[in-house]
């Protein structure tokens, strides 16, 4: 079986996050939350890039994810829960040259983590995030992470890190120091050694040079997959774990055997079960990263915000009569489904609710291991005498309902007493100049700069140096006084962050690299005439069709379309509305066709051909801009709950729901495989593709003639392949986009592929007849309520025949995830049967057979 199957299998073996209160913004862990959950896309930190996919290495045979887990363990194992010292404290940065930390893993991991150290995240917080990222990227459980770790200023004690030559008594004492008994010791060693290898010359008394490829001896046969193979191979006697067999036996360095066998193999036997393994690893990795010294208080477990503001920035404008408000709102679209528009309901400086909400526009998309996000920007000018004190976020759904998020009853606070003035600030000649506008009733502000100062080699982690500088008066602008201060940059702008503080107010976390090269003066008089308010705002994502265009006039279709260029074209032609579609099409009109209805923002995600950082609609989906839309007003009582759902007839329109497929797609000469997950970076079908407005099943099948598989996606896209690179089944309803060439049929969806397999393909997968058994069908399964669970067997080379042999003493057997076999004497639970097309994951040991799918079990019953 491929490692992909195991990754999918373990993906569902535990909850993604532990139950925890929703975060209140701003929080001390806001930056750490981004590091954990924003892997790619807009505003992404990219922290997990070195370990995604899990097979990434930093040298021949050296799996980066394994290095991250090993380094975190070496940092934490120095803790002592009795003396309340050490633990996960970042002391590993001072121990790189220690003989107990030999090899390339630790300096490499610490070097990868060093850039994420800041005055908002300690190195030890980053190490904890590293355990989460490495485990999750390899298909393991989501390890809960708490913030608030404090970094040590020197190396930890010598002798705490387990060495392969230790006796079982020494091992037991070392693990007991961090609160782990013998069972936990066995479990966490197996969890750590499910990834990676032993390397020469790091362990020259365990393996010989030239004995193994790349001089790396893997612990198990799947060194870049978080799975139970470390346990199953050990117990089956097929293990090649160099700390169990080989030279380590003679040199008495076979520590994995010594540890696994220390309770007569009882614990390691239980770890053959995938859920037992996943649950144990999740719990013990969390325990490991929560060993901290006395005085350190960790936060609650960090969970993703459903709604989170970013870069909320006020800027005093010329003359001081107006203040600009800009920023982004991040919506967790994997949790908040069908979001069609987002508004800011705000209060002025006195706390009075303002009747006109602030509209937003889509700025970008992002994703993590388990969640997807949409970022919506906002930009508006407010009168300085009224300003803003707080806002709530209202999410409008495509069905006309709305939900308001008020930050756990606290609203999202905005302080206008101290305002960092980005246009007036700059850098040059090795100097940083920061300017701030401070209300006249506030004390003289201070500029606080945090600089990263390199440490002596081999420590790659800088120290943080904080400098406070009183700011000098410049001039009065309206109700504000301008102040400025200079700071000599020690190394590079990117190594500096800064903020402005006055009284109990501050405007903080500005990055030196964002500074312009020239400071722009701020006039003390307002411009004449004053700036006009924006005439066009983002309405949302709207449906379009070939029969009745949402906007009547197509202005262009080119490889250089941007939101701005389309708006300009339509304005010059005296149209009120502009809309961008399919990444390259610009449409204009004075009214929206009555057939066009608002759709979820997730359906308008095509990058603009002329500016890929922005989104320009999708297939038959229009990103619409025009006069301020008649959204729901914020009159009436204000709820203090986190969210409240309302339905309003004053919404832009009451759309009809998008049709969803109810019947399995069919095409003569082909078998329907299913609605499969797809992505731009990891195509399920990757050999050939095209995009055409005439796309349908027949045209795509013709285009893919000679290929075993074809799939249609996003209405107009066609993909071909000789095999399925991935086989992750999604609900049929996810493939609900009408084919661009045949609106009566459905051609996939956003990152969803409707897949067919040619019946003429040699060795078409099937549910093979098994002597003595009758095939019962495809059954729904669940990790928490197994349909069959009396016996479980895992095999990377599983076949239906192998599973039958394993379950010969039971009435039923079933295959799942391509490599899992389940036995039982009854079908438990009431989850029932699924659609047969959903049980088409290829068996790891025979690609001509089906072995269930994700949470789907191909079930056989013993004949009477």
Q: Is the dihedral of CA 537, 539, 543, 547 positive or negative?
A: negative
Taking phi over 0 as left and psi of -120 to 50 as alpha, with beta for the rest, 854 belongs to beta
**Residue 632 has what pLDDT?**
47
Which is more confident, 527 or 531?
A: 527
**Residue 530 has what pLDDT?**
59
pLDDT-derived band at 531, boundaries 50, 70, 90: low
Q: Which two tokens stand for residue 277?
A: 């393994």
**Residue 652 has what pLDDT?**
32
pLDDT digits (tens, 9 = 90+) for 153-164: 999 988 889 999
pLDDT digits (tens, 9 = 90+) for 604-618: 988 899 998 889 998
pLDDT digits (tens, 9 = 90+) for 243-273: 999 989 989 999 999 999 999 999 999 999 9
pLDDT-derived band at 21, boundaries 50, 70, 90: low
Q: Judge contact between 448 and 502, C-beta under 8 A.
A: no
Question: Is it the case that residue 99 has pLDDT exceeding 80?
Answer: yes
Domain 422-514: give its CATH superfamily: Carbohydrate binding type-21 domain (2.60.40.2440)
For tokens 């090899």, name the residue. 103
Calculate mean pLDDT across residues 574-578.
Answer: 91
Question: Is it the case that residue 633 has pLDDT exceeding 70?
Answer: no
pLDDT digits (tens, 9 = 90+) for 344-358: 999 999 999 998 899
- Among residues 57, 56, 34, which one has the least CA distance to residue 47? 34
- Among residues 592, 838, 615, which one has the least CA distance to residue 42? 615
Calculate mean pLDDT across residues 53-76.
Answer: 95
Question: Is it the case that residue 15 has pLDDT exceeding 60?
Answer: no
Alpha-carbon span 427 to 412, nearest angstrom:
31
- CATH architecture designation of domain 27-289: Orthogonal Bundle (1.10)
For tokens 């006009």, name the residue. 532
pLDDT-derived band at 399, boundaries 50, 70, 90: confident
SS3 of residue 57 by DSSP: strand
Alpha-carbon span 193 to 214, nearest angstrom:
18
Q: Which two tokens stand for residue 787?
A: 């349909």
**Residue 731 has what pLDDT?**
78
- 726's CB contacts (< 8 A; 6+ apart) are 4, 676, 677, 678, 682, 684
Q: Judge contact between 803 and 821, C-beta under 8 A.
A: yes
Question: Is it the case that residue 708 has pLDDT exceeding 80?
Answer: yes
**Residue 744 has what pLDDT?**
82
**Residue 762 has what pLDDT?**
54
Question: Is it the case that residue 585 has pLDDT exceeding 70?
Answer: yes
Q: Identify any residues that bridge with 477 across adjacent strands, giving them in sequence order.
A: 480
SS3 of residue 842 by DSSP: strand
pLDDT-derived band at 206, boundaries 50, 70, 90: confident
Question: Is it the case that residue 3 has pLDDT exceeding 60?
Answer: no
DSSP string, 557-579: E-TT--HHHHHHHHHHTT-SEEE
Calculate mean pLDDT across residues 450-470.
Answer: 95
Of 122-131, 203-212, 302-311, 792-801, where does mean pLDDT reach its minimum?
A: 203-212
Which is more confident, 210 or 127?
A: 127
pLDDT digits (tens, 9 = 90+) for 25-48: 999 999 999 999 999 999 999 999
Question: Is it the case that residue 78 has pLDDT exceeding 50?
Answer: yes
Q: Judge contact between 587 and 550, C-beta under 8 A.
A: yes
**Residue 659 has what pLDDT?**
60
- Among residues 201, 242, 236, which one has the least CA distance to residue 223? 242
pLDDT digits (tens, 9 = 90+) for 434-456: 999 999 999 999 999 999 999 99
- 408's CB contacts (< 8 A; 6+ apart) are 21, 22, 24, 642
**Residue 594 has what pLDDT?**
85
Alpha-carbon span 822 to 833, nearest angstrom:
16
pLDDT digits (tens, 9 = 90+) for 329-378: 999 999 998 899 999 999 999 999 998 899 999 999 999 999 999 999 99
Question: Is it the case that residue 654 has pLDDT exceeding 80?
Answer: no
Which is more confident, 500 or 819?
A: 500
Please return the burial class of 533, using the count of CB atoms within 10 Å of its CB with bins 0-12, 13-18 and 19+.
Answer: exposed
**Residue 638 has what pLDDT?**
34
Of 101-115, 191-205, 651-665, 748-762, where does mean pLDDT reach its minimum?
A: 651-665
Of 20-24, 291-295, 679-683, 698-702, where does mean pLDDT reach its minimum?
A: 679-683
Angle, helices 274-289/123-137, rounded to nearest 10 degrees: 170
With a pLDDT cut of 90, the percent of the chain lying above it is: 62
Q: Judge contact between 522 and 421, C-beta under 8 A.
A: yes
Question: Is it the case that residue 647 has pLDDT exceeding 60?
Answer: no
**Residue 742 has what pLDDT?**
86
pLDDT digits (tens, 9 = 90+) for 537-560: 899 999 998 888 999 899 988 889
CB < 8 Å & 24+ apart, contacts of 732-735: 732/660, 732/661, 732/662, 732/664, 732/675, 732/835, 733/660, 733/661, 734/675, 735/661, 735/675
Question: Is it the case that residue 831 has pLDDT exceeding 90?
Answer: no
**Residue 10 has what pLDDT?**
32
What mean pLDDT is reported for the chain?
87
Calculate mean pLDDT across residues 629-644.
Answer: 42
Question: Is it the case that residue 696 has pLDDT exceeding 60?
Answer: yes
pLDDT digits (tens, 9 = 90+) for 713-772: 988 889 988 777 667 778 787 788 888 888 888 998 878 899 999 887 655 557 788 999
Calculate mean pLDDT across residues 173-186.
Answer: 96
Distances (CA, A) of 766 to 706, 773, 793, 846: 21, 15, 21, 10
Q: Judge contact between 460 and 110, C-beta under 8 A.
A: yes
Calculate mean pLDDT across residues 310-321.
Answer: 96
- 817's CB contacts (< 8 A; 6+ apart) are 5, 6, 8, 9, 841, 851, 852, 853, 854
pLDDT-derived band at 534, boundaries 50, 70, 90: low
Alpha-carbon span 720 to 740, nearest angstrom:
18
């Amino acid at each position: 079986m491929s490692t992909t199957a195991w990754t999918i299998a373990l993906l569902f073996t535990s909850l993604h996050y532990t139950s925890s209160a929703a975060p209140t913004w701003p929080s001390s862990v806001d930056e750490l939350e981004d590091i954990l959950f924003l892997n790619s896309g807009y505003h992404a930190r990219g922290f997990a890039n070195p370990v995604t996919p899990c097979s990434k290495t930093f040298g021949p045979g050296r799996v980066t994810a394994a290095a991250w887990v090993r380094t975190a363990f070496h940092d934490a194992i120095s803790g002592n829960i009795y003396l309340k010292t050490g633990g996960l404290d970042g002391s590993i940065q001072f121990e790189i040259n220690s003989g107990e930390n030999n090899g390339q893993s630790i300096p490499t991991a610490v070097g990868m983590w060093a850039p994420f150290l800041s005055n908002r995240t300690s190195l030890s917080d980053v190490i904890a995030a590293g355990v989460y990222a490495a485990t999750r990227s390899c298909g393991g459980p989501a390890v809960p992470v708490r913030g608030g770790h404090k970094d040590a200023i020197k190396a930890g004690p010598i002798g705490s890190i387990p060495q392969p030559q230790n006796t079982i008594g020494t091992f037991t004492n070392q693990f007991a120091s961090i609160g782990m008994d013998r069972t936990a010791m066995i479990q966490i060693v197996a969890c750590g050694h499910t990834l990676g290898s032993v390397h020469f010359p790091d362990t020259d008394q365990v393996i010989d040079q030239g004995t193994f490829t790349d001089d790396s001896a893997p612990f198990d046969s799947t060194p870049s997959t978080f799975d139970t193979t470390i346990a199953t191979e050990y117990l089956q006697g097929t293990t090649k774990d160099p700390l169990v067999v080989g030279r380590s036996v003679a040199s008495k360095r076979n520590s994995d055997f010594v540890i696994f066998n220390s309770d007569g193999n009882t614990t390691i036997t239980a770890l053959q079960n995938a859920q037992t393994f996943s649950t144990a690893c999740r719990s013990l990795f969390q325990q490991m990263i929560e060993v901290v010294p006395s005085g350190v208080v960790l936060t609650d477990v960090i969970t993703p915000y459903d709604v989170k503001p970013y870069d909320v920035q006020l800027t005093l404008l010329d003359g001081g009569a107006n203040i600009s408000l800009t920023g982004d709102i991040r919506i967790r679209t994997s949790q908040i489904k069908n979001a069609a528009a987002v508004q800011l309901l705000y209060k002025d400086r006195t706390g009075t609710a303002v009747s006109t909400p602030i509209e937003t526009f889509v700025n970008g998309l992002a994703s993590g291991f388990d969640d997807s996000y949409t970022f919506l920007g906002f930009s508006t000018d407010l009168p300085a005498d009224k300003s803003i004190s707080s806002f709530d976020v209202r999410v409008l759904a495509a069905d006309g309902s709305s939900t308001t998020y008020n930050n756990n009853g606290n609203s999202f606070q905005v302080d206008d007493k101290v305002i960092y003035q980005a246009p007036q600030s700059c850098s040059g000649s090795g100097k940083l100049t920061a300017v701030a506008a401070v209300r006249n009733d506030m004390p003289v502000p201070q500029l606080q700069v945090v600089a990263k100062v390199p440490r002596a080699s081999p420590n790659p982690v800088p120290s943080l140096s904080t400098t406070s500088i009183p700011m000098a008066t410049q001039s009065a602008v309206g109700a504000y006084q301008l102040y400025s201060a200079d700071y000599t940059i020690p190394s590079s702008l990117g190594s500096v962050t800064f903020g402005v503080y006055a009284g109990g107010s501050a405007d903080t976390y500005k990055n030196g690299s964002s500074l312009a090269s020239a400071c722009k003066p701020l006039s003390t008089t307002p411009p004449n005439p004053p700036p006009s308010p924006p005439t066009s705002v983002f309405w949302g994502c709207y449906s379009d069709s070939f029969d009745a265009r949402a906007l009547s006039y197509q202005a262009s279709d080119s490889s250089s379309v941007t939101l701005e260029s389309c708006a300009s074209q339509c304005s010059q032609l005296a149209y009120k509305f502009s809309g961008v579609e399919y990444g390259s099409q610009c449409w204009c009109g004075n009214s929206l066709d009555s057939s066009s209805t608002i759709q979820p923002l997730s359906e308008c995600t095509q990058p603009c051909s002329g500016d890929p950082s922005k989104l320009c609609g999708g297939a038959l989906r229009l990103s619409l801009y025009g006069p301020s839309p008649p959204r729901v007003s914020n009159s009436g009582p204000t709820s203090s709950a986190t969210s409240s759902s309302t339905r309003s007839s004053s919404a832009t329109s009451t759309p009809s729901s998008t049709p969803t497929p109810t019947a399995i797609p069919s095409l003569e000469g082909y078998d329907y495989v299913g609605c499969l997950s797809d992505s731009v970076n990891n195509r399920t079908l990757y050999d050939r593709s095209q995009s055409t407005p005439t796309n349908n099943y027949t045209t795509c099948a013709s285009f893919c003639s000679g290929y075993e598989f074809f799939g249609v996606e996003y209405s107009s896209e066609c993909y071909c392949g000789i095999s399925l690179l991935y086989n992750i089944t999604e609900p049929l309803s996810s493939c609900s986009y009408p084919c661009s060439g045949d609106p009566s049929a459905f051609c996939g969806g956003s990152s969803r592929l409707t897949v067919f397999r040619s019946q003429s393909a040699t060795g078409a997968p099937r549910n093979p007849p098994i002597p003595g058994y009758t095939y019962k069908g495809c059954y729904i399964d669940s990790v928490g309520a197994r349909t069959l669970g009396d016996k479980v067997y895992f095999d990377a080379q599983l076949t239906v025949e192998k599973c039958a042999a394993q379950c010969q003493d039971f009435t039923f057997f079933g295959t799942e995830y391509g490599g899992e076999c389940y036995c039982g004497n009854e079908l438990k639970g009431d989850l029932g049967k699924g659609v047969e097309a959903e049980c088409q994951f290829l068996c790891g040991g025979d690609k001509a057979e089906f072995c269930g799918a994700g949470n789907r079990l191909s079930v056989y019953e013993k004949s009477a």
